[in-house]
Structure 1
Amino acid sequence: MAVAVPSQTVRSTRAAAPLRGSLALRMLRCTALAGLTALAPALSGDLVSTSAHAQSGTLETLGATVDQSEPLLLEADELRYDFDRDLISANGDVQIYYGGNTVEANQVEFDRKQNRLRANGNVRLTEPNGNVLRASSMELSEDLRDGFVAALQLDTPQRTRFIADGARRENGNRTTFDNGIYTVYTRPTSPPGKPPLWRVRAATIVHDETERTVEFRDASLEFFGRSLVYLPYFSMADPTVKRKTGLLTPSAVVGDRVGVGVTVPYYFALDPNYDLLLSATPLSKQGLLTQAEWRQRLIDGSYSINVGGLIQARPGEYGTSSGNRRFRGVIATEGAFEINQRWKWGWDLSYRSDRAFLNDYSFADFGNASDISQIYLTGQSERNRFDLRSYAFRVSQEDYAAAATFNDPNYLPVGSRLQDKQPFVHPVLDYNYIFEDPIAGGELSLTGNLTSLTRDQTDAIRVGGTTRFRGVEGTFTRTSLRADWRTTVIDPLGQVFTPFAYVKGDLFFLASQDKTVGALTDESVVGRIMPAVGIDYRFPILGTFNGGNQIFEPVAQLIVRPNEGRIGELPNEDAQSIVFDSTTLFEYDKFSGFDRSEGGTRANIGLKYSLQFDNSFSMNALIGRSFQLAGTNSFKTADILDATRSSGLASDQSDYVSSLYFDSRQGFRIGAQARFDHDNFAVRRAQVEASGIYGPVTGNLAYAYLSAQPNIGIPTDREEVIGSASLRLQENWRVFGSVRYDLQSNNMVRDSVGFGYDDEGFSVSFAYSEDRSRNNGQTTDRLFFLRFGLRTLGDTQFSTNGNN
């Protein structure tokens, strides 16, 4: 196409050219090359020669001083170069790609004399870091680092937004917004055009990319367009910053015993690998609570240390409880380190001045502080696992005041100092190994355990005039090793036979134990061995029908072994919890730990049933029982605690156990387990749990029943209901609550209720809870909790607890 133009101007239609050099040079090159190509047929040879020669000289001069490594691509409907004003302009759908930056506008001009780029009309600048700036007009330096923007909106990859009448960028890193607004925006998947609930309006906003800070001057925090808080000045970390030294958002607390207080945290980002958080909470009744948290990441792991404490101004607020003292505090530390890909070690340790400190000052965060401290070493591969741990336990429960506090005179604790009854475990070692190659045609595995502990005081209770022992004073060590072998054979009919065998050996070391426990042996070293052989039989019968299938599976198991030796003569620390239900029916040894070993010949039988509909609900059921065929029944013979007589296994014909699970595959599930008495089919143990999602409602409901176990000091039945639910209102609102109710005593054990609002920029939640289960001398612990958060600005919380 031929175009008639004045001799000082070169013009072309839609052009695109990748070039190298300075921005001025590249735009000149792009204009010259594209323009000359378009105008060549219309211009005389002399004019073409003169223009080309002049431009060639200019290119050679500039090209000697510019970096040729950065490419530029310019696209526009029309390009112009005004030789008289030394002005390069691009008009119509202009797009410039330079150094990772993209500039889009209706018109772009480059003034070579001032080295300034001006963009007008629907300007959009996209930076390499993901920032997107929109404006009506923009003036930038040659390298796009500095400039001025009018009527702008800046969106960051962190979904934060700056809006201002104008902005100036200096030194390539400092941007000043005039009459600006800072807020957040939603994802594209959120409702388009949804306005944020909050924003910060300021006369001046300064964003320093080097210091990575945002400063606000003459600012106000607005909600729903109304100003709530005026702030003459405040600053925050850039939204890209995860760690920066500075003051964090304070939180408030109110309590009957502590008074009114505000927690003020200050964070020190000392190094990329370690930091420090200091907090101070002045309390109107108790003085100053101070806290410190140190965290450090090393090459092979990380660790943290938390300390906190205060000198109470009014310890009498805590009456005669353990909190009635001047100094109270806690120290806690945890760490985890990898030795190699398979081995790691670590610790989780805490110590506090008294048992009630964590509860009395529960509004404060003391890291990993808890009732259990441990040090561990673990290793694991595809076929073996090693776990070595040492434990120390601290109790939060108050000591028993007197026997008169117990309603049942047939159940009385012996001794009131609960902490002295807690053992130090030093250590407990578990080891598992599965041999890779078959042994005698089957799989062979080894299980080992070493437990050593010391207790300062015997933990005993008197039940109906008889003393039972949950733990014995002194040092107790036991090492155990068990070898298991099994193989599986399937016959042509589909019957599955699994013969198995195991042998378990134990060695007990009893040092300085309580000699008043008359049933215990006087020997210091005791050995014990338990061999067993058996077979497991299953015959799954599959039936299909249009739309689904069902499986009937009878299961039978026979285990032959000698009687258990030394019952009641040895301590029992880890086999006190006997749960006989559908999940343990086919366990070879139904004791929960190593201190007891089930003996005698036993048969376990059951029937499994499953129903499955294609793309629809499924159901699974099981019913069965266990039989003592020969030898001494380990669950009938009492040990020093006698925890087995109410297990359902004490008779030669056990209680019945059953389970039923239903899954609708549409959000609703229910499962139930029950144990029924072998004589009258009365319910001895039952548990039902249901969960579901229906529209905006999510809920969970559980029911548990345990019959009385008078032989271990539980004289009455226990029956509770636990439920929780959450209802989502509209898009972002939700209400929630939970209850725990004791059906036997008609008493609300715990309850809570609350509401919350959450969106991409703002969250708030309020909860109120009551707890009547703690033995701290209070009838009810009440807690009010309010949390308030603004994304990128931070969050704060307010809590208050009251006791009656």
Structure 2
Amino acid sequence: MRRAFLTLAAALALSVSPLALSLGPVAVAQAQGTPAPATLVADTVFIDADGRLTAAGSVEVFHGTARMTAGSLVYDPATERLQIEGPITLVENGGATILLASAAELSADLTDGILTGARIVLDRQLQIAAAEISRSSGRYNRATRIRASSCEVCASNPIPLWEIRASRVVHDELAQQLYFDNAQFRVVGLPVFWFPMLRMPDPTLARSPGFLVPSIRSTSGLGTGIKLPYFIPIGDSRDLTITPYVSSNVTRTVELRYRQAFRTGTIEFNGAVSRDDLEDGNRAYLFGTGSFALPAGYRLNFGIETVSDDAYVSDYGLDDKDRLETGMDITRTRRNEYILGRVVNYRSLRDSEDNSTLPTLITDVTWHRRFAPALIGGEGGLRFQTHSHHRWSDEETDANGDGVVDGRDVARASIRADWRRNWVLDNGMVFAGLTEITADIYSISQDPAYDSTVTRVTPAAAVELRWPFMRAGTAGGASWVIEPVAQIGWSPKSAADDDVPNEDSVLVEFDEGNLFSLDRFPGADAHEAGLRANLGFSVIRYAVDGSSLALTLGRVVRPESLGQFNTSSGLDGASSDWLLATQYAGDGGLTVTNRAIFDDNLDLSREELRLFWRTDRYGIGSSYIWLEEDLAEARSVPTSEWTLEADWAITDTWSAAIEGRYDFEVDRAARAGLGLQYATECVTFDLSLSRRFTSSTSVRPTTDIDLSVVLNGFGSGNRATAARRSCGG
């Protein structure tokens, strides 16, 4: 900067008269052929007899990442100092640091000096007002008698919601830290806390050791407590967060979170150790996840979930999970190929389930490829799959009476080939042929009801006819698409034989997605058998306003019933129940879907209704489900539940959210929650209230209250998302 101004002065003195320079806007820079560390732009520039350079009118100085604007500027080459009159704005690092002042005396490179009547604005959030700010080494900004806040302050709102007043503050731009001396924290003008010394990160800092935002949690089981997390960065790629949690009901907990980023992936572990008066001894949990990119497009994922006791998850509000999953998988997904290998272990937290008799250890390998056969056309697929599950029990009988042998273990290898081709006829009909064949080999142990080794081959084929009609809407009219579909499918009746235990296809969903499928069983243990006709049609209406209404109606008809399906599925009998699915999608963000399964007498066996509505100010999501009782699906009474989730932006600063689940069969709420948030440019206030009403021997009814207050403007993670308040006119 010094060389720039000296060269500038010499060039002006030798080649241009001061009078000529004062006649209009002038822009000057370093001579061509040498580096240009600085640029001066002003309306008028002249040099006096002592060699002092004066610039006035819309003065701008550019140096590296710094840009300064001012009313006037005087450069004295003898002292290498700048005398600057305001209003002054000095912007550094792309706006991360902004200094405002009424007058300043600075070095030629803008790194040292004093600014009076000054303010520092950090990351366009935190403002520090001071009587005087001194700069040194281009790194430190020292201010005296300061007021710091990220709240909007103006004549109509002179008292900020919060502020820090201190006798001195030092801003280290390199370390991105703020050091306060004799600091007083005020809320709406009232002193609340005093600190002899206080260190806080500036808003541009992403990672720094120190305390994070505390939160208050009150539960009916653990009482009222406080969490105070402490963040510890470990290099650029790792960090550890330690959170002591102390509550009134003799609860002492230390929570830990460890994160690490690698060149090809990330890991994260969350855990805690607790002592409380709910259970005897130490209690703990550990949850962990990881994901890594492997060569050749593969990805490795793993997860760990373990707890010391079944009630820990619900007591400490970790999750609504009642089954934990620990395992690892390797996958690769391409346009026409999918590969999966996984090992997973489940642990049930439900009182009604015994982990020793559940298939808790599971392994799977899948290779699936899609291709276009050159000779016969259409689209083909080939899938190879292995599966095994293991129970820890050695019992060869059904000792617990749940209908499943307690210690049965199963391993399976399968290969399936499928093919489909469509032909468009002259009259617009679409004719299709499809077929598949599956070969399985099973190894079954600890169940005398089945052979130890079972092999089977199951073919299936179908023909399908579709006749789509479309009526394009006239000006201002709607468009219609109507498509009747008839499909005749076949597989041998022997596919219904109980040669192997059915453990992965017990629960069958009948919906518009599998109405025209060769096999409606979700797994590999059961295959749909016999001759059947899948009949239905769909209607879609597209309105000119962008909304649409879709309807699908269909059923399955067979010559005879082979007794493969449960009554509640809607697929039992020679003729299935009717499936009616509708969906409305409005241009205003409203979506309503409904799926009903009913017989010829209009008696329902299943009903699902979902509603979602999203606008700029609010969102509503609600669903209702009704299922008839079915002992085959472990449902002794009907299921009738309603859920609701909603959020509302009440104003630019206030928002609310509610959630709930109500069980009509027991005539009580299962869960309810309420959240309230106040967010401005300087503070975020979060309050949540939730209540779980259900109970068991390991799960207690609880009421949770959580409160957190975040002062926006300290640390990069505390940037407010609410609209910034305006002083207005």
Give the structure-1-normalised TM-score. 0.81
Greater displacement, 140-149 / 346-355: 346-355
Question: 1:599-644 CA distances to partner (integer Å, 9 max, x unpaired)?
Answer: 11111000110111123321000111001236x62525xxxxxxx2
Tell me the residue number matched to 1:387. Answer: 340
Whether the 8 Å contact between 1:292 and 1:306 is mirrored in structure 2 is yes
Aligned alpha-carbon RMSD (Å):
3.2
Q: Give the superposition deviation at 1:199.
A: 3.0
The answer as to 2:485 corresponding to 1:485 is no
The answer as to 2:438 corresponding to 1:504 is yes
Tell me the residue number matched to 1:48. Answer: none
Question: 1:550-593 CA distances to partner (integer Å, 9 max, x unpaired)?
Answer: 11110111112201447334222211111112332112100011
Q: How does 1:323-334 map to 2 (within 5 A)?
A: 324-334=279-289
Tell me the residue number matched to 1:375. Answer: 328
Whether the 8 Å contact between 1:461 and 1:468 is mirrored in structure 2 is no
Greater displacement, 428-437 / 24-33: 24-33
Tell me the residue number matched to 2:303. Answer: 348
The answer as to 2:646 corresponding to 1:725 is yes
Quickly say closer, same or farther: Cα 1:158–1:600, change in 2 above 3 A. farther
Letter aligned with residue 309 of structure 1: V
The answer as to 2:129 corresponding to 1:163 is yes
Question: 1:406-459 CA distances to partner (integer Å, 9 max, x unpaired)?
Answer: xxxxxxxxxxx6222332334112221012554512211012321111112499
SS in 2 for 1:440: coil
Whether the 8 Å contact between 2:496 and 2:564 is mirrored in structure 1 is no
Q: Give the superposition deviation at 1:395.
A: 2.0
Question: 1:74-96 CA distances to partner (integer Å, 9 max, x unpaired)?
Answer: 23233332334x42222222222
Quickly say closer, same or farther: Cα 1:436–1:168, change in 2 above 3 A. farther
Question: 1:378-427 CA distances to partner (integer Å, 9 max, x unpaired)?
Answer: 11222101111111112223x35xxxxxxxxxxxxxxxx62223323341
Give the structure-2-normalised TM-score. 0.89
The answer as to 2:58 corresponding to 1:136 is no
Residue in structure 2 matching 1:81, options 47, 59, 62: 47
Tell me the residue number matched to 1:47. Answer: none
Whether the 8 Å contact between 2:484 and 2:537 is mirrored in structure 1 is yes
Instruction: State how far apart, in whole Å, the 2-side matches of 1:283 and 1:613 are.
Output: 58
Q: Give the superposition deviation at 1:510.
A: 0.8
Greater displacement, 25-34 / 609-618: 25-34
Q: How does 1:379-528 map to 2 (within 5 A)?
A: 379-397=332-350, 399=351, 418-457=354-393, 468-469=402-403, 472-511=406-445, 513-515=446-448, 520-521=449-450, 523-528=451-456
Whether the 8 Å contact between 2:215 and 2:709 is mirrored in structure 1 is no
Tell me the residue number matched to 2:462. Answer: 534
Tell me the residue number matched to 2:723. Answer: none
The answer as to 2:75 corresponding to 1:94 is no
Instruction: State how far apart, in whole Å, the 1-side matches of 2:371 and 2:160 are.
Output: 61
Question: 1:300-356 CA distances to partner (integer Å, 9 max, x unpaired)?
Answer: 22223344213x3x5xx33xxxxx331221233322111125101121013222122
Question: 1:479-515 CA distances to partner (integer Å, 9 max, x unpaired)?
Answer: 121111011100111101111110011111012x244
Quickly say closer, same or farther: Cα 1:419–1:648, change in 2 above 3 A. same
Q: Give the superposition deviation at 1:696.
A: 3.5
Q: How does 1:238-253 map to 2 (within 5 A)?
A: 238-253=202-217
Quickly say closer, same or farther: Cα 1:379–1:553, change in 2 above 3 A. same
Question: 1:14-49 CA distances to partner (integer Å, 9 max, x unpaired)?
Answer: xxxxxx971431441354256438569xxxxxxxxx
The answer as to 2:142 corresponding to 1:213 is no
The answer as to 2:562 corresponding to 1:633 is yes
SS in 2 for 1:658: strand
Quickly say closer, same or farther: Cα 1:280–1:579, change in 2 above 3 A. same
Instruction: State how far apart, in whole Å, the 1-side matches of 2:322 and 2:637 are.
Output: 35
Residue in structure 1 matching 2:516, options 559, 570, 586: 586
Quickly say closer, same or farther: Cα 1:246–1:300, change in 2 above 3 A. same
The answer as to 2:7 corresponding to 1:32 is no
Residue in structure 2 matching 1:543, options 471, 495, 518: 471
Instruction: State how far apart, in whole Å, the 1-side matches of 2:296 and 2:375 are.
Output: 29
Instruction: State how far apart, in whole Å, the 2-side matches of 1:567 and 1:33 are.
Output: 106
Instruction: State how far apart, in whole Å, the 2-side matches of 1:579 and 1:133 are.
Output: 65
Tell me the residue number matched to 1:611. Answer: 541
Letter aligned with residue 292 of structure 2: F
Instruction: State how far apart, in whole Å, the 1-side matches of 2:680 and 2:549 are.
Output: 38
SS in 1 for 2:426: coil
Residue in structure 2 matching 1:360, options 311, 315, 339: 315
Letter aligned with residue 655 of structure 2: R
Tell me the residue number matched to 2:570. Answer: 648
Quickly say closer, same or farther: Cα 1:623–1:665, change in 2 above 3 A. same
Question: 1:44-83 CA distances to partner (integer Å, 9 max, x unpaired)?
Answer: xxxxxxxxxxxxxxxxxx99xxx94234332323333233
Whether the 8 Å contact between 1:456 and 1:474 is mirrored in structure 2 is no
Tell me the residue number matched to 1:46. Answer: none
Quickly say closer, same or farther: Cα 1:744–1:287, change in 2 above 3 A. closer
Instruction: State how far apart, in whole Å, the 2-side matches of 1:651 and 1:458 are.
Output: 38
Quickly say closer, same or farther: Cα 1:195–1:751, change in 2 above 3 A. same
Instruction: State how far apart, in whole Å, the 2-side matches of 1:576 and 1:33 are.
Output: 96
Quickly say closer, same or farther: Cα 1:259–1:683, change in 2 above 3 A. closer
Whether the 8 Å contact between 1:559 and 1:602 is mirrored in structure 2 is yes
Higher RCO (CA-CA < 8 Å; seq separation 6+) = 2
Letter aligned with residue 372 of structure 1: E
Quickly say closer, same or farther: Cα 1:582–1:148, change in 2 above 3 A. same
Instruction: State how far apart, in whole Å, the 2-side matches of 1:431 and 1:237 are.
Output: 51
Equivalenced residues, count: 703
Identity %: 23
Letter aligned with residue 78 of structure 1: T
Quickly say closer, same or farther: Cα 1:755–1:221, change in 2 above 3 A. same
Letter aligned with residue 70 of structure 1: A
The answer as to 2:531 corresponding to 1:601 is yes
Q: How does 1:549-588 map to 2 (within 5 A)?
A: 549-565=479-495, 567-588=497-518
Instruction: State how far apart, in whole Å, the 1-side matches of 2:287 and 2:609 are.
Output: 38
SS in 2 for 1:646: helix
Q: Give the superposition deviation at 1:793.
A: 3.2
Question: 1:219-269 CA distances to partner (integer Å, 9 max, x unpaired)?
Answer: 233344444433332211232221112233333344454455433332221
SS in 1 for 2:184: strand
Runs of at least 5 residues in structure 1 that lack an aligned partner in the other structure: 1-19, 41-61, 187-191, 319-323, 401-416, 637-643, 797-804
Structure number, greater radius of gyration: 1
Whether the 8 Å contact between 1:383 and 1:436 is mirrored in structure 2 is no
Greater displacement, 661-670 / 24-33: 24-33
Question: 1:90-118 CA distances to partner (integer Å, 9 max, x unpaired)?
Answer: 22222222334222211101122221111
SS in 2 for 1:24: helix
SS in 2 for 1:332: strand
Instruction: State how far apart, in whole Å, the 2-side matches of 1:102 and 1:168 are.
Output: 18
SS in 1 for 2:376: coil
